[in-house]
Amino acid sequence: MKKIVFIGAGSLVFTKNLVRDLLTFPAFSACTISLVDIDEERLGYAKKTVEQIIAAGQYRAQVEAHTDRKDALPGADGVVCTILAGGLNVWRKDIEIPKKYGVDINVGDTRGPSGIFRALRTIPAMLDICRDIERYCPQAIVLNYTNPMAMLCRAMQSETNVAVTGLCHSVQGTAAMLARWIGAPKDEITYLCAGINHQAFYLDFQWNGKDAYPLIREAMNDAKIYNEEQVRNEMFLHLDYYVTESSGHNSEYNAWFRKRPDLIEAYCTHGTGWNPGEYAYIVKGYEKRQSDWRAQMQRWMDEPIDLKRGEEYAASIFNATIGDGTLFKFNGNVRNTNLIDNLPGGCCVEVPVLASRKGLEPIHVGALPSQLAALTNISARCEEMAVEGALTGDPRKIFHAVCFDPLTSAVLSLNEIKSMVDELFEANRDYLPQFKHLS
């Protein structure tokens, strides 16, 4: 009987959806679901939700709950990680301190000054989890959903022997959105997507074997479609390839959309998609959910159980590697071992990966178009410096990583960046024991 461990199971939406998907595969219908969270109340809600799914599907699966992952990991075949290191009180500082200096951030969980400091807090926790996996279940397949995806995966894959990849639903989600825009059924769309997390691009996008990019470009003439994703659509119209992650995220990753108030007004406030790009969008939403999370969790638990498999990759990956062995290709985050020719060797890239009983095998892509390589190289190299700084406790590396962040460097001088980074270090003092100078 297979055993799948969910670390950070109090992230109830992820846990609910991933468990639902997993149990749709016969190989896991009688598995053990082991839930782990340090918050006992959230853990209790997660356990009740999984029990509801098991009952609704009449599965033979079992569920257990633990506050200590060491009680859950022994014998695990697969591990899913959805943790948050540090609460809202420090996460807010990641957004508010840069804003004081003029760096306007929408999400702040992936790269740039806020993403980097989130990584500094989270990398030690992720490495501790991986070391426990090495000790208790070294053969387990590990799937990470925690951000900042690229920096965390880069650290885990270089510092441990765990078979880990990172997953982001923006690849399949954006493909479905583009299909909708051109009136194509999703199952008639094929694509090749590669780059780095949240800045991967569809190098080709086809409908029934024919290039669909002319149809996508034509769709931009519809104001309703253009306004749905203003930032991403501008990027496509000028860079010629469509990027995977939302306009809110991508408005932060370059210097074109958020460096001046008039640009924020033009591109980041009137979009009609799920994330219009407003300042501190995710923090505001998280703060609202924190205030009524018990009521929200109860509402989720009271909803009818939908047993239909969703679009997340995790369950299909587990089925391919430790289930019935059906091959499954997905986009995952892995180190660049001759996968993308014109991105730094060893950095974290998001490329097609084949899951099978042999494990996870990344697929060589080749070179990105030069304009995409120029854009993603900057972010990848900043991430490399940030990870090196996190692993060595070198604050100078962190400063340099922030210096070259495109949005930050478009807004601030070097001296202003240094002051901002110093203030971010001070706000994170209690979470960064690896930086000895803060002691």
List active site positions: 169
Task: Evaluate whether 21 touches 314 at the Cβ level (below 8 Å).
Answer: yes
The tokens describing 284, both together, are 């505001």
Q: Which of 90, 195, 192 is nearest to 150 (CA)?
A: 195
Q: Which of 374, 428, 371 is nearest to 406 (CA)?
A: 374
CB-based contacts of 215: which residues, under 8 Å, 6+ apart? 182, 207
User: Which residue shows structure tokens 């998907």?
Assistant: 21
CB-based contacts of 326: which residues, under 8 Å, 6+ apart? 316, 319, 320
350: part of which helix (H) or strand (E)?
Answer: strand 348-356
Encoded amino acid at 281, one letter:
Y
| Residue spans of alpha helices (H) in 30-111 | 40-57, 69-72, 88-100
| Integer Cα distance of 303 and 41 in angstroms | 19
| Integer Cα distance of 151 and 147 in angstroms | 8
Task: Evaluate whether 289 touches 283 at the Cβ level (below 8 Å).
Answer: no
| Strands 78-81, 141-144: pairing kind | parallel
Task: Evaluate whether 318 touches 4 at the Cβ level (below 8 Å).
Answer: yes
321: part of which helix (H) or strand (E)?
Answer: helix 314-322
The tokens describing 380, both together, are 């990848």
Task: Evaluate whether 301 touches 45 at the Cβ level (below 8 Å).
Answer: yes
Cα-based distances in Å from 72 to 36, 160, 273: 7, 20, 39
| Integer Cα distance of 172 and 70 in angstroms | 34
362: part of which helix (H) or strand (E)?
Answer: strand 359-362
Q: Which of 281, 272, 226, 285 is nearest to 252 (CA)?
A: 281
Residue 333, classified by CB atoms within 10 Å of its CB into exposed (0-12), middle (13-18) or buried (19+), is buried
